Chains A and B, each alone.
Chain A
Amino acid sequence: MNAAHIIDVTRAQLFALVRRPAAWTIVAAMIVLNQVFSFVIPYLSYRSADPSGFDAGATPEELLAGTLPAQIVTNTLGGFPVFAGALALALGALVLGSEYGWRTFKTIVTQRPARLSVLAGQMLAVFTFIAGTVVVLFAMSALTSTVVALSEGESAALPSVGHLAAGYAGGTLVLSTWAGIGAALAIVLRSVALPVGLGIVWALGIENLLSAMARTVLSALEPMRDVLPGVNAGSLVAALTPERIGSSAPGVAETVSGGRAVTTLLAYVVVAAVVAAWCHRRRDVA
């Protein structure tokens, strides 16, 4: 692999990615879901006569406190283990899988960079886009929570820089893990639709099923549950948001320690990259 070639590919891929409507549709979906579930519904519940409808047992004061700037790490990361993760998986599959559908891989790999440099550059572009997306999600959370705080006369103080940085890094790792899995599936299956379908069924269905079974009827499944990507993403988010008020978002639970979750998620990124590289290097390009 050649570092200069990897940077060339990353620049080219980012140039194309930021002009791709589908990528912004995914980012928009993440923003909308985050805003609706972290701010709009809690705030409307707080303003309504029956606040218990949204979060049973939470007082109006707790609902309002949960939407303030002090909670932006919790509110931004809350959806990452499940819905944002699934969308990141779709993004990774979309970026790499489309190259097969449009047959643009042949255009890319006949320019100059070697195949592994091409793959490294493409993955780096996806992770860079994810990192930018997490910045946007934090910014939107900060904006909305500040508006709520100012309109309700509450404190608009943000968490410490250290807490924000840890939240940002953790969130980027969670989404990068899912995006890396999506990209690897796209390369293995050489398509977009199948990896997106399989990935989302896994992220939203099978993981929850396995977790529930391990928790309730089959404790022998616990070791397997503890290495699942969604479970580790939820554990990392739980570790990064000790200040959360009320019940946790779906998928956020301290099943394993934060340190172990980071290690497991990084391992998923590495395994995804190795599997993708192995397939990408040995296969003919149609």
Chain B
Amino acid sequence: MTASPIIEARGLVKLYDQSAGPAVDHVDLTVHAGEIYGFLGPNGAGKTTTLRMLLGLVRPTSGTATVLGEPAGSPSALARTGSMIEGPAFYPYLSGRDNLRVVARLAGVPADRVDPALATVDLTGRGRDRFSAYSLGMKQRLGVAAALLKDPELVVLDEPTNGLDPAGMRDMRALVVELGRQGRTVILSSHLMAEVQEVCDRVAVIADGRIVAESTVEALRGGTSLLVAAHPTDRATDVLRDLDVVDDVRRQGTDLRIDADPRHTASIVRALVMSGVDITQVRRDERQLEDVFFEITGRGNELEEVAS
């Protein structure tokens, strides 16, 4: 991964309605080349509006954004960006293949890219069917195929797994990872935290139009803890507090939670055993992005509703 910014946004604000408050409120974003960047937040948080501003669909009320070194929404930036925003939109009376031909002409790319793009999203057999006859999942996949037609450096996908069945969701995530492996920069907007955690290098958490956290997935999840079931507990606590490799020890029910690098697990266990402590269980305890999100936004109930 290089350090060159693919997207730089500073102080983006979008105010649709004075009485409703800003949909996007002073958002700063920096996305580097080759990253798979997650944009995480509940519905209505401002994810799609931010992406729309980056693509020139919506004009910011204030703030600036550059995409691929060009002004957001400029032809030179769009020519190198593939996108699917808030669901696919195509002509219902045309077939999937013909819709991609239209997109190819608009983008000024050769028509011979259409069939490989259909194959990438597994729609070759249904390419002749009308778009209006497609299922929601097929429409979604056609939208991704259209986004890839330009062989883009930057791919912006807004909720790409909406409407997909579990197998389709798995395939879509694999495709996003593959796009990253190919050296493309991907921005993936989602309200599904497991999805973001699985495929993204870095994540921005957005709530009420503001970025409330931005970091790598690992950093957001914090350090890994060890949960140890040991007896006697007091003796174990004393031993652990004397170890240099242990940052902190706390009781959690009948277990001990140890903040330490998991690479030191063997030496920690050895020290406890050598001190006469019985160990019945040792396991790693990793916080999920979901826990982090709830902590940051205090929106557990809201997000559960979204996820259901």
Contact = CB atoms under 8 A, between A and B. Distances in A.
21 contacts: A2-B75, A8-B106, A12-B103, A20-B91, A20-B93, A102-B89, A102-B90, A102-B91, A104-B90, A108-B106, A109-B57, A110-B55, A110-B83, A111-B150, A113-B75, A113-B106, A114-B74, A282-B59, A284-B52, A285-B52, A285-B57
Interface in A110-167: 110-114, 117
A12 B89 contact: no
A8 B81 contact: no
Nearest to A108: B106
A47 interface: no
B106 A111 contact: yes
A5 B85 CA distance: 22
B98 A110 contact: no
Given A110-B78, A111-B78, A21 B93 contact: yes
Interface of B: 52, 55-59, 74-75, 78-79, 81, 83, 85-86, 88-94, 98, 101-103, 105-108, 146, 150
A8 B103 contact: no
B90 A111 contact: no
Interface of A: 2, 4-5, 8-9, 11-12, 15-16, 19-21, 102-104, 106-114, 117, 282, 284-285
Contact of B94 (A9, A19, A284): A19
Contacts of A107: 88-90, 103, 146
Contacts of A282: 59
Contacts of A113: 75, 106
Nearest to A121: B106
A19 B93 contact: yes
A211 B55 CA distance: 48
A8 B90 contact: no
Contact of A15 (B78, B83, B101, B108): B101
Contact of B105 (A2, A15, A102): A15
Given A110-B85, A112-B78, A15 B57 contact: no
Contacts of B56: 109-110
B107 A111 contact: yes
A104 B87 CA distance: 11
Contacts of B59: 282, 284
Given A102-B91, A110-B85, 12 more contacts: A8-B108, A12-B102, A12-B103, A102-B90, A106-B57, A107-B89, A111-B78, A111-B103, A111-B150, A112-B107, A113-B75, A113-B106
B226 to A, nearest CB: 48
B75 A104 contact: no
Given A20-B93, A107-B89, A284-B57, A15 B75 contact: no
Contacts of B103: 12, 107, 111
